[in-house]
Amino acid sequence: MIISVKSDLRASFGPARDQGSRPTCLAFAMSDAHAVARADLSPLSSEFAYFHAQRRASRPPSVGATLPAMLSAIREDGQPLETGWPYLTSVPADLTRWTPPATAKPVFRRAGASGTDKIEDIIAALGQGKPVVTLMRLSESFFRIDATAIVDEQPGEKPNFSQRHAVVAVGYGELNGQRVVLMRNSWGLKWGVNGYGWITEKYLQPRVIRLVTLQEDLSVSPGSLAA
């Protein structure tokens, strides 16, 4: 199967990362999109973003972040580089110890906008060189991706409303007359091909929940003379 590639932003990203068993997919997706918006391959701290999103929403670190809280965290709290607060494989049992270290600076802040659930809007943003954070429901084929790195809906397969996930749309193309979207996952390099997979429109469209794009850099104070 040969995909006719129309857009591919993979070169703008560093290596795909692995969230492990924690419910931090949205933090990883937003962090990766934020790094691309900064035009810097250096990864940003997903731990910092997730911590502040959960704090803003008064949610424990055992559940996923909400989109409004994550957008607020990126806009108001920002993110340091990954080296400022490296990702934890697990949160300390004593949550008073789960707090940003003094090394978590400087931080980079950015505005973001929640959009529609239409593949057309993913393609339009990618055409402008902008990756799209994609919140979606999953089903079996997403977990069974093989060496072709193509996820397609199988006969009778339905979206699982209890399985929600966040990935980053980084490209699109066509396969046998059907549009396909290239997604960057946060399950490590072994998912798909080096952490990327092509999702067919048939699979993706009924499973998309919400699309998010990042906008202007807010790191420079309005009172600063910096350009």
The alpha-helical segments, DSSP class H, found in the chain are 25-37, 46-57, 67-72, 119-127, 140-143, 201-204
Which of the two residues, 88 and 1, has the higher pLDDT score?
Answer: 88
* Confidence at 178, pLDDT banded by 50, 70, 90: very high
The answer to the question of residue 223 being in a domain is no
Paired residues of 128 in beta bridges: none
Cα→Cα distances 108→44, 67, 79, 172, 183, Å? 9, 19, 5, 29, 24
CATH of the domain at 161: 3.90.70.10
pLDDT at 166 over 70: yes
Q: Is residue 79 part of a domain?
A: yes
DSSP H helix total and E strand total for the chain:
6, 8
How many domains in the chain?
A: 1
The predicted-structure confidence for 101-110, as pLDDT tens digits, reads as follows 999 999 999 9
- pLDDT of res. 219: 81
**Residue 68: inside a domain:** yes
- Residue 222 inside a domain? The answer is no
pTM: 0.95
The domain in which residue 185 lies consists of: 4-216
221 found inside a domain:
no
Residue 104 resides in a domain: yes
Examine residue 224 and state whether it is found in any structural domain, yes or no: no
Q: Is residue 72 part of a domain?
A: yes
Contacts of 84 (CB under 8 A, 6+ apart): 45, 48, 101, 103, 104, 105
